[in-house]
Structure 1
């Protein structure tokens, strides 16, 4: 499957492993609100490296992610995109509460922001599932048992961009690691369960 760049960055690739570099002050977030003094409202940015492929129809996209969690909002991300104003991302992020958490953002013109489960350690599996215009995000600690983080709808066409983002909105950047990426072209029986 062919991957393309939006906001190209450094990439190191070996067997079943991608290391994607997040430059300083990079993110995908759309907000008409001004950023708060203490970072309560993230700044509007669409400049993070996005390494993606285009997938037609239903799918299951799964990858193991890890990073060093240096600065607030540093994250390794799976993102689904129709265009710059219609997209969703599933992040393993250093939150503004100083936790490592599975976070989701859905954007339809404006971005929302939802913290999910806190995770011990620096590694987790992220999964994105499509069934028509319905989507679900899941996480796993072992790559076998997945739990739903978010269920949502996006008005998209047959084909969407799906891929990996390395972000560092408030930090000086760093490496985000993605391993054992798989893409299955299938329709799941239960989108909430992801299988």
Structure 2
């Protein structure tokens, strides 16, 4: 007997987001053209036009993960996981099309201004991504099989109590990007060793 998993995001929040559609227990997000979530470190311009769907999570520790499958067509098209403490403090873990055309693990940490860093190229536009929290310390991990995780970044955000977690679809230089987010999970405990990814 198969038990259907409940949706990760509420039906109300999905219905309220024009860019989101339920996909079994997961969700499909579609961004519009020229959309991004980024605060330019050069001029301070904040762009918040990307398709974003979030939910609140309480507690000082968690692990939030999903399989991310973006339809990459243009430079900087991406599907991402998001953690946000307020409008000026947030971070996203992206599967993004880099300037050279390769699907790439990318991290953006924003403390008023965005700190954008490319990680490594991935074999395709399909990866498991995870955000973990332990107090005000966060870690980004990426996996190509959902079992073995590799650390991309450890950083801090001012996080007192509840934070938002969610998913993002963006297409800063393109005509739009559709992203499937499946295998969405939330575990209410910290990693024993963020650097090992275990």
User: Structure 1 length as normaliser, TM-score?
Assistant: 0.89
Count of residues in Structure 1 that have an aligned counterpart in Structure 2: 187
The aligned counterpart of 1:39 is none
Unpaired runs of at least 5, structure 1: 36-42
The aligned counterpart of 2:144 is 141
Q: 2:134 aligns with which of 127, 131, 135?
A: 131
The aligned counterpart of 1:184 is 187
CA-based RMSD of the aligned residues comes to 1.9
Q: Superposition pairs for residues 1-195 of structure 1, below 5 Å?
A: 2-3=9-10, 4=13, 8-31=17-40, 33=42, 44-57=46-59, 58-195=61-198
Deviation of 1:99 after TM superposition, in Å, equals 1.4
Deviation of 1:47 after TM superposition, in Å, equals 1.5
Deviation of 1:32 after TM superposition, in Å, equals 5.0
Q: Are the aligned partners of 1:9 and 1:22 in contact in 2 as well (CA < 8 Å)?
A: no
Deviation of 1:44 after TM superposition, in Å, equals 3.8
Describe the shift of the 1:2–1:180 C-alpha distance in structure 2 as closer, same or farther (beyond 3 A): closer
Give deviations 1:94-126, integer Å, cap 9, x for gaps.
012221100000000100110001001120000
Unpaired runs of at least 5, structure 2: 1-7
Separation in 1, partners of 2:104, 2:182: 19
Secondary structure of the residue aligned to 1:149 is strand
Separation in 1, partners of 2:25, 2:195: 27
User: Structure 2 length as normaliser, TM-score?
Assistant: 0.88
